[in-house]
């Protein structure tokens, strides 16, 4: 979960807007009454405000927030000056960022330990082979033809899961394979697909250092996650290496 100092400003801005709408004549009603545009507008702003504050809800005293809103709209001078308000918002932002870093580090450590344990057990299974890099693979179907090089383009069908079986991506679900330069993907794929021939289907068991490492990928792949892929090599498009300029000039 990402925390941004801007969230505080945006959230409080929404609160002020809601307060201004009320001050300018929005009718006082029960919370459940959402019949008028003003009521729906106020409620919508409240929902947005709640979402904006959700990342800092443990640090916000709602009664104090309301007090600050009421006093400001009443024209009263703030009890905290500009410098004090900036200092406390910066302090809370740093606190939340530190907490986020600690939580991510703990998650990364747990994922690395779990991945290493999984791979240590997996390599003992019959049919699983391990390369010098630590990549593990299992042949499901063996095809025919030339194996791709890292410089080639490949077309594949695949399904990716975490070691617990949670699927995070699948070309099968989208109904079409994908094509990409083999050298432009994670190291585990670049290495693993070079072991395959067109028509092959392998299972790749990829250590975190050959996948997305400490950075992870998006919301579904956390830091230090080992990954499992079922990969079918549909086709290979050979890409010739660029020829030196002098050699190309001689042939013109």
Q: Is residue 33 in some structural domain?
A: yes
CATH number, position 176: 3.10.50.40
For residue 162, what are the β-bridge partners?
Answer: 227
End-of-domain residue from the set 54, 79, 104: 79
Strand partners, 138: 128, 203
On whether residue 242 sits in a domain, the answer given is no
Quick one: 66 and 156 in the same domain?
A: no
Domain of residue 205: give its range.
128-237
Are residue 132 and residue 231 in the same domain, yes or no?
A: yes
| Least confident window among 64-68, 165-169, 237-241 | 237-241
Whether residues 140 and 225 fall in one domain:
yes
Tokens 């201004």 belong to which residue?
Answer: 20
Residues 70 and 164 placed together within one structural domain of the fold: no
Q: Give me the pLDDT at residue 103, please.
A: 92
The pLDDT of residue 53: 84
Q: Are 203 and 230 in contact (CB under 8 A)?
A: yes
On whether residue 202 sits in a domain, the answer given is yes
Residues 43 and 143 in one domain: no
Position 90 in a domain: no
Residue 147 lies in a domain: yes
* Residue 156 pLDDT greater than 90, yes or no: yes
**Predicted confidence band at 119 (pLDDT cuts at 50, 70, 90)?**
very high
Which is nearest to 231 in space by CA: 186, 119, 117, 116? 186
Name the strand (E) or helix (H) holding 137. Answer: strand 136-141
Percent of the chain topping pLDDT 90: 65
Residue of 218 and 212 predicted with greater confidence: 212
Sign, Cα dihedral of 207, 209, 213, 217: negative
Burial 180-218 (b: 16+ CB within 10 A, else e): eebeeebebbbbbbebbebebbbbbbbbbbbbbbeebbe
CA 199-128-112 angle, to 5 degrees, is 110
Domain-terminating residue out of 79, 102, 137: 79
| Contact (Cβ atoms closer than 8 angstroms) between residue 59 and residue 91 | no
Give 197's contacts (C-beta < 8 A, 6+ positions apart).
142, 143, 144, 145, 146, 147, 233
Mean residue pLDDT across the chain: 86
Q: Are residues 144 and 208 in the same domain?
A: yes
Which tokens is 209 given? 């250092």
Residues 13-24 have pLDDT tens digits of 444 444 444 444
User: Can you read off the two tokens belonging to residue 30?
Assistant: 């029960």
Residue 207 shares a structural domain with residue 141? yes
**Residues 137, 61 share a domain:** no
Mean pLDDT of 142-150: 95
Quick check: is 93 in a domain?
no
pTM: 0.70
Do the beta carbons of residue 7 and residue 55 sit within 8 Å?
yes
Q: How many domains does the chain have?
A: 2
Given 46, 79, 112, the domain boundary residue is 79
């Amino acid at each position: 979960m990402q925390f941004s100092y801007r969230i505080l400003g945006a959230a409080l801005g929404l609160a002020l807007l809601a307060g201004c709408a009320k001050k300018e004549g929005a009718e006082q009603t029960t919370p459940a009454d959402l019949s008028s545009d003003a009521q729906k507008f106020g409620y919508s702003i409240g929902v947005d405000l709640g979402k904006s504050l959700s990342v800092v809800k443990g640090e916000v005293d709602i009664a104090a927030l309301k007090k600050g809103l009421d006093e400001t709209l009443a024209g009263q001078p703030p009890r905290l000056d500009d410098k004090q308000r900036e200092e406390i918002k910066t302090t809370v932002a740093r606190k939340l960022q530190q907490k986020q870093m600690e939580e991510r580090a703990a998650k990364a450590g747990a994922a690395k330990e779990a991945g290493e344990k999984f791979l240590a057990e997996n390599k003992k299974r019959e049919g699983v082979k391990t390369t010098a890099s630590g990549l593990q693979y299992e042949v499901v179907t063996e095809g025919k033809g030339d194996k791709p090089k890292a410089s080639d383009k490949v077309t594949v069908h695949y399904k990716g899961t975490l070691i617990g079986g949670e699927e995070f991506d699948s070309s099968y679900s989208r109904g079409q394979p994908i094509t990409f330069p083999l050298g432009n993907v994670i190291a585990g794929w670049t290495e693993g697909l070079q072991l395959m021939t067109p028509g092959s289907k392998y299972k790749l068991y990829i250590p975190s250092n050959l996948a997305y490492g400490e950075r992870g990928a998006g919301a579904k792949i956390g830091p230090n996650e080992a990954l499992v892929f079922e990969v079918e090599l549909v086709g290979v498009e050979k890409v010739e290496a660029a020829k030196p300029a002098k050699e190309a000039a001689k042939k013109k």
